[in-house]
Amino acid sequence: MGLTTRRYQSGEIDYDGHISRRGDSHLRGLLYEAATVLLTRSRSECDLCKWGLQLRERLGFKRAAVAVARKLAVIMHAMLSTGEPFRGAHVTD
């Protein structure tokens, strides 16, 4: 989906940079928008919101939103794979 970090390696240089932007740009935009809503307008006390707000304090809003969007994608993929509904369980790093 393109929400992983892009790597640049050449000789002695190993740079872990911006998001890779591979995959569907529309889906990536929707995930980013959902993460933005979770970080700004959501009043729920879910673990994902708490984790994202802690990241926002440390890294800044945009990086936290990308991290929450990626975690949302991982959670939804696991839900599709197992067929289980979302339970709001603890979020791990």
Mean pLDDT along residues 25-52: 87
- The pLDDT tens digits for 57-90 are 998 998 899 889 989 988 888 888 988 877 765 5
Amino acid at 45: E
Residue bearing the bigger pLDDT, 34 or 4: 34
The answer to whether residue 19 scores a pLDDT higher than 80 is no
Share in percent of the chain as helix, strand, coil (round to 5): 55, 15, 30
Q: Which residues contact 70 (CB under 8 A, 6 or more apart)?
A: 1, 3, 4, 31
Give the model's pLDDT for residue 20. Answer: 67
The DSSP secondary-structure symbol of 4 reads: S
CA dist 4 to 12, 69, 89, 91, Å? 22, 10, 23, 18
